[in-house]
Amino acid sequence: MTTSPHDPADGAGELRGTSRIRIHDGGLERFRRLAQECVEIVREHDTGTLEYRIYLDPSGTEAFVHERYRDSAAGLEHMRNIGRMMEPLAEVCTMTGEVCGNPSPELREALTAAGVTVYGPLAHAE
């Protein structure tokens, strides 16, 4: 694995995340409300979230979340802020997640416990 100044091994670099969501039958309207609440939490409480966007497919059965965090501290802050939303979301959808970058050991442990797959940098071009 190679690292760069943009992805330090100490967890200080930017992290990117995605969540893939399958919405349960009949759960779309509640999912929409919960997703909006997540966006409001991020806007009001996250200080290191650089991007948090939720996309919905045309059929309303799948969603995709694109996330970017300043560093591991911002990722941990986001997990704390959004944590209360996981239970109600689990009632209306099934989620998987991935994070790309070099999270700190503390964030890596939290992500692993949450079932999130972590991908470390291999190579990049800028």
User: What's the CATH code of the domain at 110?
Assistant: 3.30.70.100
Tell me the per-residue pLDDT of 20-59, one tens digit each, with 9 for 90 and over: 999 999 999 999 999 999 999 999 999 999 999 999 999 9
- 107 is a domain residue: yes
- 4 is a domain residue: no
Query: What is the band of 7 on the pLDDT scale with cuts at 50, 70, 90?
Result: very low
For Cα atoms 94, 78, 9, give the angle at the middle one, nearest 5 degrees.
105
If one counts the domains in the chain, the total is 1
| Torsion (CA) 12, 102, 15, 87 in degrees, nearest 10 | -110
Query: What is the band of 124 on the pLDDT scale with cuts at 50, 70, 90?
Result: confident
- Give the structural domain span for 58: 15-119
Tell me the per-residue pLDDT of 65-100, one tens digit each, with 9 for 90 and over: 999 999 999 999 999 999 999 999 999 999 999 999
Instruction: Please identify which residue in the block is written with the tokens 């501290």.
Output: 73
| The pair of three-digit structure tokens given for residue 2, joined into one six-digit string | 């190679």
Instruction: Please identify which residue in the block is written with the tokens 């091994």.
Output: 9
pLDDT for the residue numbered 3: 40
Distances (CA, A) of 56 to 8, 109, 120: 33, 29, 27
- 56 is a domain residue: yes
| Spatial separation of the C-alpha atoms in residues 91 and 53, rounded to whole Å | 21
